[in-house]
Amino acid sequence: MGAGAAGAPRPTIVVVDDAAEVRALVRSRLRSSGLLDVVAEAGDGAEAVEVVRRLQPALVLLDVSMPVMDGLEALPRVLEAAPGTTVVMYSGFQEEGLAHRAAELGAAAFFEKLTSLDTLAGDLVDVLDAGGSTPAAAPRAAPLGRADEAEHRVLSEHLERFREVFEDAAIGMATVTLAGHIVRANHSLGAILERPVDDLVGSSYAAFVGPAADTLQRLLDGILDGSVESGQVEHEVAGATPPRRVVATLAPVLDGGGRPLYLFAQVQDVTGQRGAEEELRRSEIRFRLLVDNVEDYAIFMLSPEGRVESWNSGAQRINGYAAHEIVGRHFRAFYPPEVQEARHPEHELELALRDGHYEEEGWRIRKDGSRFWATVVITTVRDSDGVHVGFAKVVRDITERRSLLQEREEAAAALAAANERLQQAADDQAHFLAVTAHELRTPVGVLGGTADLLAEHWDELDAAERAELLAGMSASSARLRRLLDDLLTASRLQSSRLELRMGEVDVAPIVVAAAATAQRGSPGSPLDVEAEPGLLVVGDAGRLAQVVDNLITNALVHGVPPVRVAARLDGDDVLVTVQDAGTGVPPEMRERLFERFATGRSAGGTGLGLYIVRQLAREHGGEASYRPPEPGEPGAFVVRLPRAPDDAR
């Protein structure tokens, strides 16, 4: 590493990262290495461009996700301001396409933030010595101890499974920098935006937004300054053929200090829904035109006794009678038989005479016996001396209007229900993402912190301490594995891609094994197990174990000890019940208890466990339910599975 040889000036470097604590850590490590001279720092891309223009450093270590201007936008500007500077991008995003995009923009190398800081200075000097000719270079890894290797295997396994969930999602998903550049995208998003996924990486999402770009920028600004927690932008996809309308929901992923690290985006295609809304709007316009322009009215005179005295063409067209067929007859002929029997026509005339006029809507009968819905106005007619001489009656056939009104009301109700479901889904998913991030943070933190402690102080710890730390890593790994199993199972259930390996299974050993595993993870929580032997069902043993494990975990986390697990025969069914000593599920939660993402806002968990329980039970021909508490009997979660037929036993 000639650039850092003894007696030679150390290469200068500028560190760019929006997190002050990260800059402080990197600066200290680089300076303590004796290989590089940290001459300045910057908290965003715009600040970095000005610093580099002024100092012309040999190296710039440039973060990807930052507010104001992120690394992808700043990179070409840095190189323009200082053509002789070597830029190394570094990020927590592990995405191959991002490294290629950085190289296309002129980065000499791309480092992941998971790189050991012990080797960072040497890696940077190597890139500088190579003359910036190793785009997307991978940094050297520090030697791993046994604990580190175990950690990396666990994290790699869970990362891969999380990526499966991400890629299999039916809606578009993306990780976005704080300045709006896409650094990771799934195939659904590529299909929605009509771009290959590799082309999306490094692109600004604003490029697909069109006229809604200002709205998007206001949302990004609001998330960064903390005035909004998350939000939506509805827009047409620029360049899409045929035109496509989507709703993009953006939610921040926060660090331990509550500051945004990057954004998680969900993009849903609402073209069909908006098309239905537009069709409803056009239907309303047609309806208004119909109401404004139709002039067909039946207008005729009645005698004081209610006999028809005059008849116009509109009346003939609506009622079907020619003038000579109806003049002289009582107007009750236009009413259904049951209305005539109730003497309602005569009552109308009495009210019109008393009040001066009478209005109503109702069914009327044409000459051919068919019915139509009419709006009716009867007005009392008096001569100049005030003598009552009869009634004027105006009738309008509004059968079509009534049908349109009913259709509009039904369509509006359906649209309101669809919007409510869409909003509920968006709220549930945003809550689910936040909860999942919280659920992942603790075990990942335990794994990383414990691995660092074991790697740095292995010889200083006694055997008991090492065993305790490794047990903690194992528990955190199990917690991650359970969470990711639930995520993957829920995804496959949603897309109907779950495969079951069916065979004859004894439920009792599954219940006993699940209880034993749960007891090891919660040694302080009493757990009572009662399982009859020989409870045979036809099913997938692994999935049935997941059902029981989810029920027991739910009881241990949310219930009150002791927890009791029982498996017994109930007629032609095998019954598995899990109950605790608590007061039971609140009534307001019971209706949504087995739905996806159904959690109390302060209860914790992803809201997938019970959803998976019911869906897997149904996949096995059974059912899962909650039995509310009764006097002297606590509430219980019940899974009912059909017993294996005699020829299978």
Residues in the chain: 649
Distance, CA of 453 to CA of 89 (rounded, Å): 28
Q: Is 296 helix (H, G, I), strand (E, B) or coil?
A: coil
Task: With a cut of 80, say whether residue 160 has pLDDT above it.
Answer: no
pLDDT for the residue numbered 148: 47
pLDDT for the residue numbered 478: 67
Distance, CA of 166 to CA of 516 (rounded, Å): 32
Residue whose token pair is 């079907």: 320
CA count, 13 A, side-chain hemisphere, 534: 3
Name beta bridge partners: 40: 14
CA 577 to chain centre: 31
Q: Where residue 423 falls among pLDDT bands split at 50, 70, 90?
A: confident
User: In angstroms, what CA-CA distances link 457 with 29, 452, 462?
Assistant: 19, 8, 10
Distance, CA of 483 to CA of 489 (rounded, Å): 10
Bridge-based pairing state of the strands 86-91 and 109-112: parallel
Q: What letter does residue 311 receive in the DSSP assignment?
A: -
Residues 6+ apart with CB under 8 A from 520: none
Q: Which CATH architecture has domain 166-274?
A: 2-Layer Sandwich (3.30)
CATH topology of domain 2-142: Rossmann fold (3.40.50)
- Whether 609 contacts 559, CB under 8 Å: no
Phi, psi angle pair for 256, to nearest 5°:
-60, -25
Distance, CA of 63 to CA of 256 (rounded, Å): 18
Among 110-124, 184-198, 227-241, 556-570, the minimum mean pLDDT is found in 110-124
Name beta bridge partners: 61: 15, 88
Distance, CA of 256 to CA of 441 (rounded, Å): 9
Q: Where residue 134 falls among pLDDT bands split at 50, 70, 90?
A: very low
Percent of the chain with pLDDT over 70: 82
Tokens at 21, concatenated: 């604590």
Residue whose token pair is 């109700």: 413
Question: Please, what is the end-to-end C-alpha distance for the chain in angstroms?
Answer: 73
Q: Where residue 11 falls among pLDDT bands split at 50, 70, 90?
A: very high
Task: With a cut of 70, say whether residue 635 has pLDDT above it.
Answer: yes
User: In angstroms, what CA-CA distances link 18 with 64, 220, 292, 522?
Assistant: 10, 16, 62, 40
Among 379-383, 503-507, 644-648, the minimum mean pLDDT is found in 644-648
Q: Where residue 252 falls among pLDDT bands split at 50, 70, 90?
A: confident
Phi, psi angle pair for 201, to nearest 5°:
-60, 125
Distance, CA of 358 to CA of 101 (rounded, Å): 77
Task: With a cut of 70, say whether residue 492 has pLDDT above it.
Answer: no
CATH number assigned to the domain covering 499-648: 3.30.565.10
Distance, CA of 309 to CA of 329 (rounded, Å): 9
Task: With a cut of 80, say whether residue 1 has pLDDT above it.
Answer: no
Bridge-based pairing state of the strands 182-185 and 37-42: unpaired
Distance, CA of 624 to CA of 403 (rounded, Å): 43
pLDDT for the residue numbered 137: 45
Taking only the tens place, the pLDDT of each residue in 571-620 is: 999 999 999 988 888 888 888 888 876 665 445 556 677 888 888 889 88
Task: With a cut of 80, say whether residue 76 has pLDDT above it.
Answer: yes
Q: Which of 82, 69, 7 is nearest to 39 (CA)?
A: 82
Percent of the chain with pLDDT over 90: 29
- Whether 62 contacts 71, CB under 8 Å: yes
| Phi-psi label, residue 6: left if phi above 0, alpha if psi -120 to 50, beta otherwise | beta
- Whether 558 contacts 603, CB under 8 Å: yes
Helix (H) or strand (E) holding 624, with range, is strand 623-627
Q: What is the CA radius of gyration of the chain?
A: 37
pLDDT for the residue numbered 155: 43
Q: Where residue 171 falls among pLDDT bands split at 50, 70, 90?
A: confident
Distance, CA of 25 to CA of 20 (rounded, Å): 9
Taking only the tens place, the pLDDT of each residue in 430-440 is: 655 655 554 56
Question: What residues does CATH 3.40.50.2300 cover in the chain?
Answer: 2-142
CATH number assigned to the domain covering 300-397: 3.30.450.20
Taking only the tens place, the pLDDT of each residue in 184-240 is: 888 888 888 888 988 888 888 888 888 888 888 888 888 888 888 888 888 888 888
- Whether 229 contacts 260, CB under 8 Å: no
Name beta bridge partners: 173: 266
Average the pLDDT over 299-326 and give the result: 92
Distance, CA of 309 to CA of 330 (rounded, Å): 10
User: In angstroms, what CA-CA distances link 177 with 230, 324, 524?
Assistant: 15, 83, 43
pLDDT for the residue numbered 116: 64
The three-point CA angle 353-354-359 to 5° equals 70
Residues 6+ apart with CB under 8 A from 93: 64, 65, 175, 183, 184, 262
Average the pLDDT over 18-44 and give the result: 89
Task: With a cut of 90, say whether residue 425 has pLDDT above it.
Answer: no
What's the pTM value of the predicted model, to 2 decimals? Answer: 0.39
Among 32-36, 310-314, 597-601, the minimum mean pLDDT is found in 597-601
Among 246-260, 306-320, 414-428, 507-521, the minimum mean pLDDT is found in 414-428
Q: Where residue 129 falls among pLDDT bands split at 50, 70, 90?
A: confident
Average the pLDDT over 275-281 and give the result: 84
pLDDT for the residue numbered 111: 87
Question: What residues does CATH 3.30.565.10 cover in the chain?
Answer: 499-648
pLDDT for the residue numbered 96: 59
Among 172-181, 421-430, 552-561, the minimum mean pLDDT is found in 421-430
pLDDT for the residue numbered 133: 46
Distance, CA of 189 to CA of 166 (rounded, Å): 11
- Whether 275 contacts 366, CB under 8 Å: no
pLDDT for the residue numbered 451: 84
Average the pLDDT over 467-483 and give the result: 72
**Sequence letter at residue 616:** L
User: In angstroms, what CA-CA distances link 57 with 12, 54, 200, 324?
Assistant: 5, 9, 31, 106
Question: What residues does CATH 3.30.450.20 cover in the chain?
Answer: 166-274, 300-397
pLDDT for the residue numbered 211: 87
Phi, psi angle pair for 369, to nearest 5°:
90, -10
- Whether 530 contacts 515, CB under 8 Å: no
Q: HEC string of 98-139?
A: HHHHHHHHCCCEEEECCCCHHHHHHHHHHHHHCCCCCCCCCC
pLDDT, mean over the chain: 82
